[in-house]
Amino acid sequence: TSGGGLHLYHRAGDDVVLPCRISSPFYTCSGVYWFYIRDPNRRLPLEVKDGNVVESSPRAARLNVGSNCSLIINNITAEDAGGYYCGYSIIIYDVTVLLNVLTK
């Protein structure tokens, strides 16, 4: 879908909303996928599949999917910094969201 990237800057402990811009009447949040990448040489961990938080994710207790398909991360830590990819049925990827976590 759209290209480019979005850079977000938040402090550790903040709650953040990562937008997903799937803008088509054919796509619903029940088909949304969210991937997280911290190391580009490793496989993309799946955080959300078919609109539901993947329970095996280390962050599962702090993740939610918003009504607009956004990924909500509560109480972020430095470990949450990295790239997040939103897509539909693992095929179409939306803008990359780069989350930067500011620490002392």
Query: Residue 51: CA atoms inside 13 Å, Cβ hemisphere, count?
Result: 10
Would you state the structure tokens that stand for residue 62, as one six-digit string? 């702090």
Confidence of residue 1 (pLDDT cuts 50, 70, 90): very low
Would you state the structure tokens that stand for residue 42, as one six-digit string? 């490793």
92-93 vs 63-65, strand pairing mode: unpaired
Q: What is the pLDDT of residue 72?
A: 97
Of 28, 29, 24, 34, the closest CA to residue 90 belongs to 34
93 CB contacts (<8 Å, ≥6 apart)? 1, 85, 86, 87
pTM of the entire predicted model: 0.84
